[in-house]
Structure 1
Amino acid sequence: MASGVVNIRRDVDDKFYRYRMPLLNIKIEGKGNGIKTVVPNMSDIARALSRPPTYPTKFFGCELGAQTSFDEKGDRYIVNGAHDASRLRELLDTFIDKFVLCASCKNPETDLIITKGDVIIRDCKACGQRTAVDMRHKLTTFILKNPPKTPRKTKKSKEGGAADNGNYSPTADDADASGGESDDELTRRIKTEAAELATNLASTTLKEDEWTADTSAEAVKARVKALASNTQGDDDSDDDVNSPYSQIGRWAEENRYSATAIEVYKYAQDLGVERKHKTVQVLAQALFSEDIVAEIPKFAPMFTKMVTSERHQKSLLGGLERFVGVLHPDLIPAIPKILMAFYQADALEEEVVKQWGTHVSKKYVDKDTSKKVRKASEPFLKWLDEADDDEEEDEEESEE
C-alpha cells in the first residue's frame, strides 16, 4: 500500500481494494486555551468519500464534545483542543461506517439524499439499495441545515473516489409519485391513529403465556435465511436481490428500531410499491422483532393505510404466518395478540380472518406450520364468534 494512502474500509486488507483515501494527518496549533487541531488534508479525504469536508469535521466535534470551525476558501478544518491523530482516524472510520458505507453491501460508492420527511438516505450506486442513516446522531441536524451536494456523474479516480470536476449541483428531494396524502397529513393521521390504537390495546383481554426467543447466533442466522426466502409461494414474487421487495425487506429489517411509520411508508413510495399487496407481506415479516406485540402500535396505522383490499389482508396474514411460523416459531402462541392488534387497527376484517383461520394453506409456509399457526389463533377466532353472539343477543333484546 502506497505511503500516505489507506483503504476507505480499513478493515479490508486487500492491497487491490479499489476504494482508497489519503491517510488523515493533523497539525497542532496554538497554546493554552487557544490550542487547536487542524486537519490539512481534510478536503482530499472528503473528496475520496464524496462528502463535504465539513461533515467529517463536524462529526469529530460531535464525538469529542469540541467546537469546530471551517474556512472553506482557505481550506482549513479545525477541531478545538489537542487531539491525537490515531483517535481522529478511529473516529473517521466510524463516520465512514455511519454516513458513507452502504448498510447493505458496505460499498462506499454512495450519495446522501434528504427526503421530504427530512430523512437522510444513503443511495448506493453499487447495489442500488437506499438505507437510512441513524437519525439520532447529532450530525444529522447539521446535515439537514447544510444539505449535501452531489457531484455530476464522473469517472472514478485511481484512488477510487469520485474525480473532482469542481462542479456540484444540489440533490433534489424525492418526489411524491403516489399523488396521495401530503407528508403533514399522513403524519397527523399516523400519530392520531397510533394513540387510539395504544388505548385499544391496553384494554385487550386476551391472555397467553409469555414467550422467549432464541437469540443464539445459529437461531439468528436461520431467521435471516428464512427472511431471504420471503417471496415463497407468491404469484408475483421477484427473487432478484435488487427487486423493490427485496430492497424494502432488507431496509425494514435494518431500520426497524429507528424508522418511524411515515419513514417506512415514504421509503415504499420511493420504490413505487406502497400500494402493492406484496409490500404488506414483506413488511409484516421484516419490520418487527421478537417484541412484535409491543411494536405493532408504532406501525399499525401505516399498515391500515396500505391495506386497501381483501388481497392486501390475505398478504398481511401470510406475512404474519411466515413471521411466527418460520422466522420466530417461539412466537406462535402470541398469534392471538398479534391478530387482535391488527384487528383493532382496522387492518384486518372479521370475515377475512375467520376464512383464513379455517383454511389451511401451503402458500406461505408448509402445511404443518400452517396448521400450528391456525391452531394457536383459535382463542382470537373464538373471541370473534363470542362477540358476534353478544351482538345478536343485544339486537334480540332491543327488538323485544
Structure 2
Amino acid sequence: MAEISFGNAYVNIGGVEDDHYRYVMPVLIPKVEGRGNGIKTRIVNCVEIGKKLNRPPGYLCKFFGCELGAQTMINDKEGTYIVNGAFEQKTLSELVDKFIKLFVTCENCKLPETDLKVSRSGTIKQKCLACGHSFSVDMMHKLTNYIINNPPDSYGTKSSAVDKQERRRKKAAAGNGQADEDDGERKSKKKSSSRKKKEDGEDSSKARKKSSKKKKGDGENAGDGNDEDEDNIVWSTDTSKDAMAARLAEAGLDAKLLDLDLGDNGVDLNGDGGSNENEDEDDDDEDEEEVKQLKELIASGTKSRTVGKTALELAATLLGKDAEAEDITVRATELVVDAYITVDAANNAVELITGLVPALKAVKSSSSELAQAQICNRMDRLCESLEDDDDSDDKDDDKDYQIVAQILKGLFDNEIITESVVMEWYEKECYSDAMSAARKAAAPVVQWIQDADEDDDDDEE
C-alpha cells in the first residue's frame, strides 16, 4: 500500500461546522511499513492530532487497537505510535471521528472543548469549558482501563497547587507591605516559615494519630455489639458439602472448582462474617492507611457489615463533601476488596466470601456497574500477587488461581455482580500474564453463567 500524502490539510474536529476554523486538526496520516507477519501501520502525526484534541496521543493509538482488535506500540518519549496490521486512511479516519465523539466532544453543546479527568474513585469524567456541562464517559469501553492506568498529564495537580500557593504568598506579601523586601530577608522568612510548617505538621500528625486510635476503639466497640440488621446471604438453600457437590454436578461445573473445606459442621453464612485469621500481614506496609484500618477491624472480629459501613465513612472522608454517591460507593468497594482479598485469605475461600459478601452489601456495590467492575479488576491484581508469592509451588499454581472462580461465583450467586459486568471484564484485552491467568481461572464460571442464562431463555419460551 502506497503512502498517501495529505500535506498540511486540516479538517474540522468531529464534523463541527466552524467557518472560522477554531476547531480544526490535521488529516490523519498513516504509513504502512514492513510486510508479511511484520506489517504495521505507523500514525505519523498522532502527536499533532492529540494536541489539537487536547488528549494524550497514546489514547488515540490505543483506541485504534481496541476497535480493530490489534496490538499497539506506544512510546510517548520518542513519539512513536504504531498499530499492528495494514489499515487504510479511510478506516482510521472513521475511527478518529468515533474517538472524538466518545472522548472529546461535549454531549451537551457538541463542541470539542472538554477536559478529561480521572477521579480517585476510578471514574473518567469530562467537563466542557464552553457550556460548563460535566458528564462521565462510557466506562464499559475497553479504552477506559488504559486511561485509568495512564491518566492525562494535564491533571497532575502538583503544578497547579504550587502556582496557587505562590499567588497566595505574593498577595499576602503585598498586603503586608513586604513586596520589595530584599533576597536575604525573603530567604530568612522562608526558613522561618519552613520551621513553623514542620512544627505544625508534627502537631497535626500527633492529632491524626490520636483521632485514628479513637476511631479504632469505636470500631472495636461496635464490633462487640449485636447487629440484628445484618443482611442474610442467599448462598444456597442447603450449605452442606453433599448439596454443594450436587448443585455443581447439575450445573456441569467441575467439582474441583469449588473444592472447599467446609468442615464437619458446615459454614455460617448468615451475613455476620468474621475475623480472617489468615490476613496478609506481610503486605500491611504497602497498604494505604484506610485499608489498614479495615484489616484491623477484620482481625479484631468486627462484623462484616460494620466493616462495610466504616469503608463508606472512610471513602466519604477521602473524596470530600462534594463527592457524588456513586463515587463514594466505588471507592468504598475498592477499600473493602483490598482489605478482604489477600494472598493468605485466598487459602480459605469460604471464610473469605462469607466476610466479603455482607461488607459489599453494606456499601451497596451491586448498585454501581463501575463498583462491580472494580471487583472484577481486583481478580487481575490477585493473580499478580499470587505470581509474586515466593511460597507458592508450581504444582499448586492452578489450584491457587481457582480462588478467582470461587470468588466470582460466590458474588454472582449473592447478586453482588451481574452477568454483563463479568462478561465485559472477561472479554477485556489482556496486557499481562496475570490478566490471562485470571480469565483462564474464571472460564468455567463464565461458561456456567452463560449456560444458565440460555436455560432461563428456553424456559421463558
TM-score, normalisation: structure 1: 0.41
Where relative contact order (Cα < 8 A, 6+ residues apart) is larger, the structure is 1
The structure with the largest helix share of the pair is 2
